[in-house]
Homo-oligomer: A and B are copies of this chain.
Amino acid sequence: MESPADQFDLIVLGGGTGGYTAAFRASQLGLRTALVEADLIGGTCLHRGCIPTKVMLESADLLARMRDASAFGLEAAGVGANMAAIARRRTDTVNRLTGGLMSLVRKNRVELIHGRGVLESSRVVRVALAGPDGLAEGERVIQATNLILATGSRPRSLPGLVPDGRRIVTSDDVLTSEVIPPSLIVVGGGAVGVEFASFYRDMGTEVTLVEYLSSLVPLEDAEIGRVLERAFRRRGIEVMVGARLDPEAAVADDAGVTVSVETVAGVGRRELHAAQLLVATGRSANVSGIGLENTQVVVESGVIRVDPYMRTAEPNVYAIGDLVGGLLLAHVAAHEGIVAVETIAGLDPEPVDYSIMPRATYCRPQIASVGRSEAELTRDSVPYVAGKFPWLANAKAVIGGDHEGFAKVLAHAETGQILGIHLIGPHVTDLVAEGSLGMNLAARVQELAHTVHPHPSLSEALAEAAMAVSGQSINV
Contacts and interface: CB of A to CB of B under 8 A. Distances in A.
B73 A356 contact: no
B447 A433 contact: no
Contacts of A433: 431, 434, 451, 453-454, 457, 459, 462
A427 interface: yes
Contact of A21 (B334, B398, B457, B474): B474
A430 B457 contact: yes
B331 A454 contact: yes
B399 A454 contact: no
Given A395-B51, A430-B430, A462-B433, A17 B75 contact: no
Interface in A197-224: none
A82 B74 contact: yes
Contacts of A393: 100
A434 B457 CA distance: 12
A77 interface: yes
Contact of A69 (B62, B75, B356): B62
**A contacts with B: majority SS:** helix
A455 B334 contact: yes
Interface stretch (A236-244, A281-289, A435-443): A435-443
A104 B452 contact: no
A145 interface: no
A322 to B, nearest CB: 13
Interface string A408-433: 00000000000000000001011111
Contacts of A383: none
Given A51-B399, A360-B454, A104 B475 contact: yes
B89 A81 contact: no
B434 A50 contact: no
A105 to B, nearest CB: 12
Contact of A89 (B73, B332, B335): B73
Contacts of A360: 454, 457
A330 B455 contact: yes
A25 interface: yes
A304 interface: no
A433 to B, nearest CB: 3
Nearest to A337: B474
A93 to B, nearest CB: 6
A13 interface: no
Contacts of A430: 427, 430-431, 454, 457-459
A45 B356 CA distance: 36
Interface stretch (A52-60, A161-169, A245-253): A52-60
A31 to B, nearest CB: 13
A441 B350 CA distance: 19
Contacts of A434: 433-434, 437
A357 interface: yes
Nearest to A46: B395
Contacts of A457: 360, 429-430, 433
Given A437-B448, A455-B45, A96 B475 contact: no
Contacts of A438: 437, 441
A77 B78 contact: yes
A40 interface: no
A319 to B, nearest CB: 18
A80 interface: yes
Contacts of A51: 395, 399, 456
Closest 3 CB pairs of A and B: A73-B85, A73-B86, A433-B459
18 contacts: A24-B474, A50-B455, A54-B399, A62-B65, A62-B69, A73-B86, A75-B81, A77-B78, A104-B475, A104-B476, A360-B454, A430-B430, A434-B437, A437-B447, A440-B447, A440-B452, A441-B443, A441-B447
Given A75-B78, A433-B451, 18 more contacts: A54-B395, A62-B69, A66-B66, A66-B74, A93-B398, A96-B398, A329-B454, A331-B453, A332-B452, A430-B454, A434-B437, A437-B437, A437-B443, A437-B447, A440-B447, A440-B450, A440-B452, A441-B441
